[in-house]
Structure 1
Amino acid sequence: MSSRRSVGSQIVFNNPRAISVRSGGSKTSNSTINVTLARRLLFPYLPLTTPLPPLVGTYGTPEENEKRRNDPAFKALNNELYDFLALVVRGFVLPWWSKITPRDKEFPQEITRIAASLIKQVESRAMAADIPALLANAIPLLVAQHYQDFRLAQAKLPTSYATGLQGHSDSLPHLFHSFQPHMAVTAEGTVDPNYLRQVVEHIMKACLPPEDWEAEAERAIIREIVLKILLESAFPRLSQPWFIQKTMLELLGPPKETVPPPPVTRSGSAFHTFVILFLSAVQVVSGFAIAAIAGLQATLHTVTEVNASTFRQKTTSQTGEDMAFPTLEMLAEILNMRERAAAAAILYLLQLILGALAPFVNRLVPYLFYTHTHPSMFTKILAQSKKVLFPDGYPGPPPVEPTIEEQVLIREQLEKRLFDCVFPVAAKLLFGTKLSIQGRTIRGILDPLGSKQCNVHLLIFLLDAIVVSLFPELALSPTSKREPSDGATDADLDAMIYSPYDKSDPLDGRSNSPGQGTP
């Protein structure tokens, strides 16, 4: 009989009875066939020589799709998606489905087919959406609003605004919730599963064909799987301050090792020392000149490419703002630049420069996005997501919260790493002239991300912004706030998502601009 051994997410079958008949006798040879987990669970009847059907790269002409199908980067992304989907099926479907019908292999295939339709439709919508405006406009404004509201709530803690909240263990999340109310989040940071359930339901209704939408059992299973991943795996991790700080440490990388200067010796004449200093100065100047020339050539090349690019260009985002100002506003809020004279002067100077270069920047942002977005980047994101969500090949337990001492150590390491990333001269201009002011600025960067309850609000608003960018029909428009349109019911309107681009709050009519009020 053939033996089987598990290797990661692959199953290796060793067949010692592969017999080759020749004249004069027979000979036994070993043949090893690698069967991935996706083939074993999702495509059990597909021949091993037949490649898996593509999940991504099917949004163009047949010639373009064929070219992407043969691209190694798209192949790696396709395999990573199937492996992720197989882990989801094994972790969330097979534990209860195998108890009902252990030999049935068609149900996972049906779920895979529906999930593949969803992935393809989401990819086609992402190609048609204005993703550069989402990354350069909506998300920076939401982050800036989060920092602004957090500091405002923190400033009101010792005032009479927190008088009625003295019975709560932490008044800060309740004050913050009053600045950023959301129907899906409570003041304690609890997410309403019905809100996310309705979001996933609307996405599936917009993406699935009628025959798949009518399959209520499969549709409900996929919806609950997505909901379980969001509520039990993604949100509990992404909202933890220590997890955010640890992720920032990993993104910044280890600090550079400083080489100590050579010891000073008294031997040698003054002329020899002068020659060494002169040659060192010449080397520094020549290196700076070469770097300046290379930078100028790269800038001219980029300007030429941007002006001649054929990418889908949009001069303004959905809010009518230039694409450069929201990112600058986010940096100004994070660094709290308006509180220091030197940093405020730099901010106003950058605003003047970006105002003069606004038409070019509006073309530069889509160019940079579409030229630097590669399938390999999404492959790395999926691989990292698998490690976080499925650490041992199965859904991981809730994150183990580090001790108070470990969290303090992570925070101190990150503060030191952020301070070391900036040159001393730039640190005095951006963070302050004194070390005490610089330390307070560094702590002010991390404090707005130090509350789990407040971070949940930011995650929900970011999720809304992403969903509305891909599915603009889910945004709450002014017409839908007054009366149902196109046969929509009141339940459909209740499940609609607030768009971060709306200028008014449908609850009370207050200002809802990303720059002021609640996002």
Structure 2
Amino acid sequence: MSSLSTYRHVTTASHRSVIVPSSIHTAVTINSSKIPISLAKRLLFPQFPAGAELPSLLVNEDSQLNAQLYDFLALALRGFIMPWWGKLSKYDKEFLPEITRIIAVFLRSIEARLALVDLPTLLLKEIPALITQHYSDYRNVHYKLGSSYATGGTSTLPQLFHQLQPHMAVSADGQWNETYMRQIVEHVMKMTLPPQDWEAEAERTIVREIIVKNILGSVFNKLAQPWFVYKLLIELAIPFFLLNYILTSSRLTKIIIQSKAVLFPNGYPGPPPVEPSPEEQVLIKEQLELKLFNFFPAPLSALVLGPDEETRQQTIHDIIEPLSSRECNVHLLIFLLDAIIVGVFPELGVVPVTTTTTSSNYTEMNDEDPL
């Protein structure tokens, strides 16, 4: 409303002097200057001037990554929120900016927490221990298939694996529980959002559902698929000196651009990508085996994989096989998620979080919120 508080005199074609709001002149100036306005600025920051830069979504990031993050967020809100919110409130221009502000506060709090995480313990001890346990249990179950241990030989591999690694968030047929994910996100939001944002139930619920359905849901459904894990390992099977490149800003920017192309073709949510056929999945697995076979130099390969070609091929098969079951992979993903959440929010793994109407333990940010 502040843009309507300033007026100016304009002479019309009939030489009459009239008073119009100065905002009309501003709109004309913007249009005449032909400054391209990004989707993020139009939807998430409609009050910003055309040439103004978007505020940083994270504390430590470059401008290119910032722009791609905002573009991804704008596409997600336009694709998943606007179709139904526009029917409820067609002319509301404040709702999406408010959602964006809450997401920014949430992400910055997570970023501040990550800076305090004991990464060596998490990456070099806890996560490898979970992966080792997954491999051990998978091989143990694989040996029991068809024996009397498998309920007279009728139990499937996922059912036997579930008996060794039961979890309230995973069913015996390898389906992950969306309610469990929702509760995790609720607890994390309670720890990271200030009281006024936690009490905004509508905005908080929308942010939670975006994280549960559009982020965690998509990630879990993909990472649980063996063929997707194989493709991911093919990309990661690169020389050691290039591993530092994986988590750089340029790499993250490229990942976001690729994710936008897959999730939002033509700027709107598209159909799920077509999964490879069984024959194509076999080819992907063979590509990974060949990649791993040639990964180590000859002297090191003999030491790590085995002295002869047949032994090396069997070793590589044994490395890949425990990742070949989608249902078992879901168990691994859930346990990894638990380990990461407890690593970032150790209080959630020690003291039960009581349900209250306000948040008193959110991570304080020293810098003023620019949104």
Structure 1 length-normalised TM: 0.58
- Give the corresponding residue for 1:123: 111
Distance change (3 Å), C-alpha of 1:394 and 1:140: farther
Instruction: Please say if residues 233 and 398 of structure 1, whose CA atoms lie closer than 8 Å, have aligned partners that are also in contact.
Output: no
Q: Structure 1: any 5+ residue segments left out of the alignment?
A: 1-16, 20-28, 58-67, 256-367, 490-519
- Give the corresponding residue for 1:224: 209
Query: Can you list the C-alpha shifts for 1:315-374, whole angstroms capped at 9, x where unaligned?
Result: xxxxxxxxxxxxxxxxxxxxxxxxxxxxxxxxxxxxxxxxxxxxxxxxxxxxx99x9965
Instruction: Please say if residues 35 and 51 of structure 2, whose CA atoms lie closer than 8 Å, have aligned partners that are also in contact.
Output: no
1:111 aligns with 2:99: yes
Structure 1 residue 381 displacement after superposition: 3.8
Structure 1 residue 231 displacement after superposition: 5.5
Using the alignment, how far apart are the partners of 1:403 and 1:211 within structure 2?
Answer: 49
- Give the corresponding residue for 1:35: 37
3-state SS of paired residue (2:35): strand
1:157 aligns with 2:145: yes
Structure 1 residue 135 displacement after superposition: 1.9
Structure 1 residue 41 displacement after superposition: 0.8
- Give the corresponding residue for 1:200: 185
Query: Can you list the C-alpha shifts for 1:242-300, whole angstroms capped at 9, x where unaligned?
Result: 111122223347x9xxxxxxxxxxxxxxxxxxxxxxxxxxxxxxxxxxxxxxxxxxxxx
Instruction: Please say if residues 305 and 312 of structure 2, whose CA atoms lie closer than 8 Å, have aligned partners that are also in contact.
Output: yes
- Give the corresponding residue for 1:400: 274
Query: Can you list the C-alpha shifts for 1:149-181, whole angstroms capped at 9, x where unaligned?
Result: 111111111321112561x5xx11111111111
Larger RCO: 1 or 2 (CA < 8 Å, sep 6+) = 2
Distance change (3 Å), C-alpha of 1:78 and 1:48: same
Instruction: Please say if residues 57 and 107 of structure 2, whose CA atoms lie closer than 8 Å, have aligned partners that are also in contact.
Output: yes
Instruction: Please say if residues 197 and 223 of structure 1, whose CA atoms lie closer than 8 Å, have aligned partners that are also in contact.
Output: yes
Structure 2 length-normalised TM: 0.80
Match of 2:177, as an amino acid? D
- Give the corresponding residue for 2:289: 415
Distance change (3 Å), C-alpha of 1:248 and 1:374: closer
Structure 1 residue 30 displacement after superposition: 7.3
Instruction: Please say if residues 231 and 284 of structure 2, whose CA atoms lie closer than 8 Å, have aligned partners that are also in contact.
Output: yes
- Give the corresponding residue for 2:314: 440
3-state SS of paired residue (1:34): coil
Query: Can you list the C-alpha shifts for 1:384-440, whole angstroms capped at 9, x where unaligned?
Result: 443444344333433422211111111112111211222333322222223222211
Q: Structure 2: any 5+ residue segments left out of the alignment?
A: 1-27, 356-371
- Give the corresponding residue for 1:268: none
1:236 aligns with 2:257: no
Instruction: Please say if residues 237 and 399 of structure 1, whose CA atoms lie closer than 8 Å, have aligned partners that are also in contact.
Output: no
Using the alignment, how far apart are the partners of 2:225 and 2:246 within structure 1?
Answer: 30
The percent identity for this pair of structures is 53
Instruction: Please say if residues 117 and 208 of structure 1, whose CA atoms lie closer than 8 Å, have aligned partners that are also in contact.
Output: yes
Q: Structure 2 residue aligned with 1:463, among 310, 317, 337?
A: 337
Match of 2:232, as an amino acid? T
CA-based RMSD:
2.8
Match of 1:100, as an amino acid? L
Distance change (3 Å), C-alpha of 1:373 and 1:173: closer
Using the alignment, how far apart are the partners of 2:159 and 2:267 within structure 1?
Answer: 38
Match of 2:51, as an amino acid? T
Match of 2:189, as an amino acid? M
Distance change (3 Å), C-alpha of 1:94 and 1:165: farther
Distance change (3 Å), C-alpha of 1:177 and 1:165: farther
3-state SS of paired residue (2:160): helix
1:50 aligns with 2:52: yes
Matches within 5 A, 1:208-287: 208-230=193-215, 232-252=217-237
Using the alignment, how far apart are the partners of 2:29 and 2:198 within structure 1?
Answer: 46
User: Aligned pair count?
Assistant: 325
